[in-house]
Structure 1
Amino acid sequence: MRKNMTPYYLMVVPALLLFFAFHTFPVLMGIFYSFTNWDGLSKTYQMVGLKNYISVFQDPVVYRAYWFTFKFAVLTTIIVNVISLAVALGLNSRIKLKNMFRAVYFLPNILSLLIVGYIFNYIFSNMLPDIFAKMHMDSLAFNILGSREWAWVGILIVTVWQATAFNIILYLAGLQTIPADLYEASSLDGAGKWKEFKHITFPLIAPFFTINMVLAMKNFLMVFDQIVALTAGGPAQSTTSISLLIFSDGFQGGSFAYQSANAVIYFVVIVIISALQLRFLQRREMSLQ
């Protein structure tokens, strides 16, 4: 029987071609257009060099979007990881129906971000104001999504509710790698729950903590769907994130090249933040061991 001499690595060529066509090539074209004045529709354009990049650093709208995005990402990352770790610790303990609770907590992760956003939009805009009005709590009977001061809170609530599910699963996977003998030995030594967590649990799940923190920060820096469904960046651009600004101004505002430059800058910023975060947390892992 003749042996098939086709190299196995040729099997990945179709996947590589598709990846290049739908990911790498558009990225390279976006970088190229960032050095032009193309509006996204015209057939002609001119090279403008670094003009778009200089304009991005001088744009107050971009600065406001960056400030909102960073503030939102940092706060949400902290809240999501605190809640996720607490829930995972509870689900990993000996409680009744813990498998059912695991499934319930993971449900938000399989739902569409836009659908969840539109549902909560109705809740914040109609249900909650009506409920508070009937309870004669007039100070709370308003749509928080229509307030410049409180709209970001609604986005944060929805994002935390949905993002917590994935982090819980990762923490549960980390907790299940800890040998039960360690807890038995610590209980014999009279260690309390806090000491067990501080000296056994957290050091051993430190790699999972690093993964969760880096992924959460990266995802929240690119927040888009929740804002589109809840506020569309309003009111008065108070909840406009960088991703939403790039999309709305680039594709709908005729500033494709300008926002392409903004996207390139933001990509570099996310890479730098993720690299620094990963380096710091990995050093912390070493110090805990």
Structure 2
Amino acid sequence: MATPVLTRQTSPAAPAGGPRPARRRGLTVTPRAFYWMVVPAVALFALLHTVPVLIGVFYSFTDYAGFGSWDFVGLGNFIALLQDDRVLKAYGFTFGFAIVATVLTNLISLAIAVGLNAKIALQSTFRGIFFIPYVLAILVVGYVFQYFFANSLPVIASGIPVLRDNILTNPDWAWLAIVVLAVWQSCAFAIVLYLAGLQTIPAELYEASALDGARPWRQFRSITFPMISAFFTINMVLSLKGFLQTFDHVVALTNGGPGTSTESITLLIFRGGFQGGEFAYQSANAVIFVIVIMLVSFLQFRVLQRKEADF
């Protein structure tokens, strides 16, 4: 009867030119370099983001004015916010502005991207040109637009009653100037995203549809838009979220005026929290605003992704 030979199992050899991966009980041990890179980043993020957020949530349940002593008031700040006409007006302006700007940004950006995609030779050049507004400091650009709306436009469009005077001083139409600035600046990023999506569509689909007699509009409706619906979802969510948090555009053009007709939620939180002695009150406003943005973004994703499935 042959005697069995016992062999010792060894770990697989390390690849040539690289260190042998450390193993413990069959599991790969994470290199120490990973922790040296990740732990400082997580700690810095927690220090500069998470901790201030938790402090703000804590103060939202107090009557802290930003200085001096404070006492707990429970849900008093949140109840008062629901009865504050200025807060409700700011929410109304912010959502109205955000919806209009989001729709215009995506319509204009998609139209430009589709037209630019047909000009293959000029894509790289125009992509760089259209992206310039996104990298410019919005406050600087905003003050340029302010001069244009206040001084140049009344002369250029003197025959139009609404534009004959400085539109920024008109409480009924000042919001339109903010929309123009916001859309002009935001289209840059949206165009680049749509161009990236358009380049993923195989050219054979358009060639086959053209042979079947499909016109450009039918190609867009049946091929282009369904194929870039995921990019449309991302652009819509990012646009609406960004416009709901608008601050620089308002400060540069109207600073919330005339009166409070163009006062956004973020501007109201800044003014009341840091200049008006309402630190705790506006902290509660900020908590509500964060929850609102999260809910709106979640609903957008659910609705738009369901549309993607229908395509």
Q: Same fold (TM over 0.5)?
A: yes
3-state SS of 2:246 partner: coil
User: Given that residues 110 and 194 in structure 2 are in contact (C-alpha distance below 8 angstroms), is that contact kept between their aligned partners in structure 1?
Assistant: yes
Q: CA deviation at 1:102?
A: 1.9
User: 1:29 aligned to 17, 38, 55, which one?
Assistant: 55
Gaps of 5+ in 1: none
**For residue 61 of structure 1, what is the amino acid of its counterpart?**
R
Higher alpha-carbon deviation: 98-107 or 73-82 = 98-107
Report the CA distance shift for 1:128/1:182 in structure 2 as closer, same or farther (over 3 A): same
Report the equivalent of 1:262.
285
Q: CA deviation at 1:275?
A: 0.2
- How many correspondences in the alignment? 285
Q: Runs of 4 or more off by more than 4 Å in structure 1?
A: 1-5, 136-139
Report the equivalent of 1:9.
35
In the TM superposition, what are the counterparts of 1:171-186 in structure 2 within 5 Å?
171-186=194-209
Report the CA distance shift for 1:79/1:2 in structure 2 as closer, same or farther (over 3 A): closer
Report the CA distance shift for 1:141/1:48 in structure 2 as closer, same or farther (over 3 A): same
For the pair 1:235 / 2:261, whether they are aligned, the reply is no
Structure 1 distance, partners of 2:246, 2:305, is 25
3-state SS of 2:32 partner: coil
Q: Could you give the per-residue CA deviations for residues 231-258 of structure 1, whole angstroms, max 9, x where no partner exists?
A: 0000010000101100011110010000
Report the equivalent of 1:72.
97
User: 1:144 aligned to 154, 167, 185, which one?
Assistant: 167
Q: CA deviation at 1:47?
A: 0.9
Q: Could you give the per-residue CA deviations for residues 34-82 of structure 1, whole angstroms, max 9, x where no partner exists?
A: 001111122x211111110100011000010000001001111000000
Structure 2 distance, partners of 1:132, 1:211, is 37
User: 2:245 aligned to 211, 222, 245, which one?
Assistant: 222
Q: CA deviation at 1:140?
A: 3.1
Structure 1 distance, partners of 2:163, 2:42, is 54
Q: CA deviation at 1:141?
A: 2.4
Q: CA deviation at 1:85?
A: 0.2
Q: CA deviation at 1:137?
A: 6.0
Structure 1 distance, partners of 2:99, 2:122, is 34
Report the equivalent of 2:70.
45
User: Given that residues 116 and 122 in structure 2 are in contact (C-alpha distance below 8 angstroms), is that contact kept between their aligned partners in structure 1?
Assistant: no
For the pair 1:272 / 2:298, whether they are aligned, the reply is no
Structure 1 distance, partners of 2:20, 2:224, is 56
For the pair 1:212 / 2:211, whether they are aligned, the reply is no
Instruction: Find the structure with the greater CA-based Rg.
Output: 2
User: 1:159 aligned to 157, 177, 182, which one?
Assistant: 182
**For residue 119 of structure 1, what is the amino acid of its counterpart?**
V
User: 2:85 aligned to 37, 43, 60, which one?
Assistant: 60
